[in-house]
């Protein structure tokens, strides 16, 4: 088996006319040849972006896709990766080791290792692999640094970011690597270092590497084993650099002395607006000449030689539980490292809890005091609602682009992301509700009774879980942050108005009455009111209220709520609903999550 593998490898090497006979191919355990045949990519409007593009990349080789802006480099790379092809029609074949690939050819390190390494990989093997890759990619120095977001949050340097991107791709030792403009934004020294890293991966590990590149320096250009020049969506050249120089010269385009050949070829193939027709004609001629050249003939021969290579190595993926644990770890770290989520929320709840406590401090058990108690209970729901929902909506949209990419790379299913995200939010949106109640309950003067206190705590926790569900579901479903916020605002107003404080729940018109059952405002407020007002503290409420001069006066019995039971009755609340409301809110939470999940799946699939 091993010897046939080596023979195959040697065939490939001879096919690429490798002179490196001293390469120990036996140590390469994962070889991939990629072929693309007669690729034609057309937009819905009928514009042809790639036309009859064929080629091949073999192990141990770094291929650079080059050409002027708009030549089709990124389109070709995306077609090979089979992603970002929305609205485009693709014809032709892409073969990996002679087989048609589905989606899935293909980021942070430790977490990615968990996501990408095969099931059964032990934690020590995982750590070892991460350390190896960090060493190979010279990432040991910044290993404890925050990655950051370019232009938004300070983090590692651009060069380190590029190397990290490679490192994450390398973590499960993929046989084939695609890089879209790996040197863009880097200085010449860094660019050279990145391309040398690619070269080393190809040479030492037999990787098949395909990258798009913009105006490489002469030093960088010389490193590539093969170059593919695209022009107007066609191939103007595919072969080694010296062959390119020779071929272009034979076509009448001799590289002038002291000129970077890459710049010269790209310039020759560029479409200048001032002489577009002449440029297009030149590109067409060069592409036609390449198709008749010995280099093209040799490419076709190489493609037939490499057609029957071994089957592609199976795609590794970790078990569902490991994926879930790794994603949960990722999002918990995100939450902990993001002060706006963790610290700010806890401080805010502590502050608002103390504020409610002081605002409603020392309430009398009379008609004025009642208004305060009712208001304080409703305020709990508002405080648990608004900051939670908008907090989630401020941060969750940033997950979306990596989710689409990683789902596309088949690293994890959407459900694993969704469950991990929910679980990562759960502790925060439980603890901060507890902080809010603890910081306010005893100041407000609610009854000091263990059971009443615990029931208030549990009600608040369930309310916040329900709120978090809506926040997550709306974010998952809405196409943008702006739409999520636009939908949420009015929805919360409707829920709050039908929650029981502003409108009597029994007096709402039938056509709108059902809305109350869609939200935690109604269920939560009924439970909080019943929990507090069924208590003996409210068995005898004084029928007094303050007059305009600040003096307590007796009010008529018909206007007086003389006990907690009367308060509950006047709200048209049912004391028997205290616990059923908990169940209703938990049920609603699950329903909202399911709706959010379906929305997210539809959105991700539509955006692939
Ligand atoms: N989805 C699409 N729909 C319509 N036109 C597209 C689409 N994607 C690319 N194009 C067009 O196809 C042409 C090739 O684009 P592509 O991005 O592949 O070029 P490129 O060689 O990578 O250019 P650059 O170096 O500027 O990134 C461009 O004219 C571009 O406007």
**How does pLDDT run across 238-268, given as a tens digit for each residue?**
999 988 999 999 999 999 988 999 999 999 9
**Looking at residues 422-427, what average pLDDT do you find?**
94
Q: Which atom of ligand 1 is nearest to the CA of 67?
A: 21
**Ligand 1, pocket-test mutation among 68, 73, 178, 232, most atoms within 8 A of CB:** 73
ipTM: 0.96
**Ligand 1, pocket-test mutation among 72, 79, 216, 229, most atoms within 8 A of CB:** 72
What is residue 474's DSSP assignment? H
Query: Considering the chain, what is the average pLDDT of its residues?
Result: 83
What is residue 269's DSSP assignment? T
CA 256 to chain CA mean position, Å: 47
The residue whose CA has the least distance to atom 4 of ligand 1 is 43
Burial class (CB in 10 A: 0-12, 13-18, 19+), 178: buried
Q: With H, G, I as helix, E, B as strand and everything else as coil, classify residue 560.
A: coil
**Ligand 1, pocket-test mutation among 41, 50, 69, 70, most atoms within 8 A of CB:** 70
CB-based burial, 187-208: b 16+ in 10 Å, e otherwise:
eeebbbbbbebbbebbeebbbb
Q: How far is CA 79 from CA 74, 85, 405, 587, in A?
A: 8, 7, 15, 44
**Ligand 1, pocket-test mutation among 42, 46, 49, most atoms within 8 A of CB:** 49
The span from the CA of 387 to the CA of 346, in Å, is 11
Burial class (CB in 10 A: 0-12, 13-18, 19+), 292: exposed
**Looking at residues 167-172, what average pLDDT do you find?**
71
**Ligand 1, pocket-test mutation among 69, 71, 75, 79, most atoms within 8 A of CB:** 75
Q: Is 67 in the pocket of ligand 1 (CB under 6 A)?
A: yes
Position 147 confidence tier, pLDDT thresholds 50, 70, 90: low
Q: Residue 409: is its pLDDT beyond 80?
A: no
Distance 277 CA to ligand 1 centre (A): 19
CB 235 within 8 A of CB 228: yes
Handedness of CA 476, 480, 484, 485 (dihedral sign): positive
Q: Which of 98-107, 359-368, 397-406 has the lowest mean pLDDT?
A: 98-107
CB 338 within 8 A of CB 428: no
Position 400 confidence tier, pLDDT thresholds 50, 70, 90: confident
Q: Is 274 in the pocket of ligand 1 (CB under 6 A)?
A: no
Residue 398 makes CB contacts below 8 A (sequence gap 6+) with none
User: Tell me, what's the pLDDT at 155?
Assistant: 64
Q: Which atom of ligand 1 is nearest to the CA of 88?
A: 1
Class of 2-106+174-305 in CATH: alpha beta
**How does pLDDT run across 22-49, given as a tens digit for each residue?**
434 444 456 778 889 999 999 999 899 9
Q: Which atom of ligand 1 is nearest to the CA of 233?
A: 14
Q: Residue 549: is its pLDDT beyond 60?
A: yes
Give me the helix-helix angle, 367-395 and 481-497, nearest 10°.
Answer: 160
Q: What is the DSSP string of 243-288?
A: HHHHHHHHTT-PPPTT--HHHHHHHHT---GGGHHHHHHHHHHHHH
Give me the helix-helix angle, 123-136 and 158-170, nearest 10°.
Answer: 140
Distance 71 CA to ligand 1 centre (A): 7
**How does pLDDT run across 434-490, given as a tens digit for each residue?**
999 999 999 998 988 999 999 999 999 999 999 999 999 999 999 888 899 999 999
Identify which of 134-148, 161-175, 176-190, 449-463 has the greatest average pLDDT. Answer: 449-463
Q: Is 42 in the pocket of ligand 1 (CB under 6 A)?
A: no
Helices (H), 396-480: 400-408, 414-425, 428-444, 450-477
Q: Residue 176: is its pLDDT beyond 70?
A: yes
Position 184 confidence tier, pLDDT thresholds 50, 70, 90: confident
User: Tell me, what's the pLDDT at 41?
Assistant: 94
**How does pLDDT run across 493-540, given as a tens digit for each residue?**
999 998 888 888 888 888 988 999 999 999 999 999 999 998 888 888
Position 578 confidence tier, pLDDT thresholds 50, 70, 90: very high
Nearest by Cα to 67 from 236, 225, 280, 257 = 236
In this structure, what are the phi and psi dihedrals at residue 63, rounded to the nearest 5 degrees? -105, 130
User: Tell me, what's the pLDDT at 499?
Assistant: 86
> pTM for the whole thing?
0.61
Q: Is 73 in the pocket of ligand 1 (CB under 6 A)?
A: yes
Of residues 119 and 600, more confidence is placed in 600
Distance 36 CA to ligand 1 centre (A): 19
The span from the CA of 304 to the CA of 397, in Å, is 46
User: Tell me, what's the pLDDT at 239?
Assistant: 92
The residue whose CA has the least distance to atom 24 of ligand 1 is 69
User: Tell me, what's the pLDDT at 354?
Assistant: 93
The span from the CA of 393 to the CA of 321, in Å, is 27
**Looking at residues 142-151, what average pLDDT do you find?**
60
The span from the CA of 495 to the CA of 518, in Å, is 8
Extended beta strands in 102-186, E state = 176-180
Other C-beta atoms lying within 10 Å of the C-beta of residue 153: 11
User: Tell me, what's the pLDDT at 307?
Assistant: 54
**Looking at residues 399-421, what average pLDDT do you find?**
85
Position 543 confidence tier, pLDDT thresholds 50, 70, 90: confident
User: Tell me, what's the pLDDT at 144?
Assistant: 63
Percentage, residues of the chain above pLDDT 70: 85
Distance 209 CA to ligand 1 centre (A): 21
The residue whose CA has the least distance to atom 25 of ligand 1 is 69
Helices (H), 342-366: 343-359
Distance 480 CA to ligand 1 centre (A): 24
Q: Residue 17: is its pLDDT beyond 50?
A: no
User: Tell me, what's the pLDDT at 396?
Assistant: 86
Burial class (CB in 10 A: 0-12, 13-18, 19+), 123: exposed
Q: Is 49 in the pocket of ligand 1 (CB under 6 A)?
A: yes
**Looking at residues 374-378, what average pLDDT do you find?**
93
Q: With H, G, I as helix, E, B as strand and everything else as coil, classify residue 179.
A: strand
User: Tell me, what's the pLDDT at 523?
Assistant: 96
**Looking at residues 148-170, what average pLDDT do you find?**
67
Q: Which of 57-66, 142-151, 304-313, 536-545 has the lowest mean pLDDT?
A: 304-313
Q: Residue 559: is its pLDDT beyond 80?
A: yes
CB 518 within 8 A of CB 495: yes
Nearest by Cα to 352 from 276, 275, 460, 506 = 460
Nearest by Cα to 283 from 297, 270, 296, 299 = 270
Domain ranges in the chain are: 2-106+174-305, 320-607
């Amino acid at each position: 088996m091993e010897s046939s593998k080596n023979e195959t490898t040697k065939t490939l090497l001879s096919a690429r006319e490798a002179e490196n006979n001293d390469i120990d191919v036996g140590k390469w355990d994962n070889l991939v040849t990629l072929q693309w045949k007669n690729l034609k990519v057309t937009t819905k409007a009928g514009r042809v972006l790639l036309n009859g593009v064929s080629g091949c990349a073999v192990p141990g080789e770094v291929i650079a896709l080059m050409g002027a802006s708009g030549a089709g480099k990124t389109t070709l790379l995306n077609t090979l990766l089979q992603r970002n092809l929305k609205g485009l029609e693709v014809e032709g074949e892409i073969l990996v080791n002679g087989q048609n690939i589905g989606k899935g050819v293909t980021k942070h390190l430790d977490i990615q290792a968990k996501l990408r390494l095969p099931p059964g990989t032990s934690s020590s093997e995982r750590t070892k692999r991460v350390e190896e890759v960090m060493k190979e990619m010279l990432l040991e120095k910044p290993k404890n640094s925050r990655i950051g977001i370019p232009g938004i949050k300070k983090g590692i340097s651009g060069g380190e970011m590029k190397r990290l991107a490679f490192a994450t791709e390398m973590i499960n030792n993929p046989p084939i690597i695609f890089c879209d403009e790996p040197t863009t934004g880097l200085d010449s020294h860094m660019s050279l270092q990145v391309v040398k890293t690619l070269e080393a991966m190809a040479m030492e590990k037999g990787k098949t590497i395909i990258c798009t590149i913009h105006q490489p320096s002469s030093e960088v250009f010389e490193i590539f084993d093969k170059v593919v020049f695209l022009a107007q969506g066609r191939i103007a050249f595919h072969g080694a650099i010296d062959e390119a120089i020779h071929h272009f010269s034979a076509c009448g385009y001799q590289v002038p002395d002291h000129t970077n050949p890459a710049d010269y070829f790209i310039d020759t193939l560029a479409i200048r607006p001032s002489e577009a027709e002449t440029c297009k004609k030149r590109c067409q001629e060069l592409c036609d000449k390449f198709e008749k050249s010995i280099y093209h003939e040799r490419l076709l021969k190489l493609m037939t030689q490499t057609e029957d290579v071994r089957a592609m190595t199976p795609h590794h993926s970790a078990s569902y539980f490991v994926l879930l644990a790794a994603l949960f770890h990722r999002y918990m770290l995100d939450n902990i490292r993001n002060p706006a989520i963790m610290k700010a929320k806890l401080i805010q709840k502590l502050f608002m809890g103390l504020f409610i406590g002081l605002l409603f401090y020392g309430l009398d058990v009379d008609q004025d005091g009642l208004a305060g108690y009712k208001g304080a209970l409703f305020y709990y729901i508002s405080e648990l609602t608004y900051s939670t929902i908008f907090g989630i909506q401020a941060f969750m949209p940033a997950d979306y682009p990596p989710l689409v990419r990683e789902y596309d790379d088949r690293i994890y299913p959407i459900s694993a992301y969704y469950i991990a995200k929910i679980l990562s939010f759960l502790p925060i949106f439980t603890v901060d509700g507890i902080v809010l109640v603890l910081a306010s309950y005893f100041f407000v003067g609610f009854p000091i009774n263990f059971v009443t206190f615990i029931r208030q705590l549990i009600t608040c926790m369930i309310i916040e879980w329900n709120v978090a569900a809506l926040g997550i579901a709306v974010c998952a479903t809405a196409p943008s942050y702006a739409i999520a916020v636009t939908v949420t605002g009015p929805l919360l107003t409707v829920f709050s108005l039908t929650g029981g404080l502003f409108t009597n729940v029994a007096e709402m018109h039938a056509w709108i009455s059902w809305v109350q059952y869609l939200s935690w405002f109604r269920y939560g407020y009924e439970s909080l009111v019943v929990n507090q007002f069924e208590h003996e503290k409210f068995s005898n409420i004084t029928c007094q209220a303050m007059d305009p001069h600040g003096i307590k006066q007796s009010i008529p019995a018909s206007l007086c709520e003389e006990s907690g039971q009367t308060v509950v009755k006047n709200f048209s609340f049912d004391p028997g609903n205290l616990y059923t409301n908990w169940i209703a809110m938990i049920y609603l939470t699950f329903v909202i999550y399911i709706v959010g999940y379906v929305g997210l799946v539809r959105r991700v699939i539509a955006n692939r």
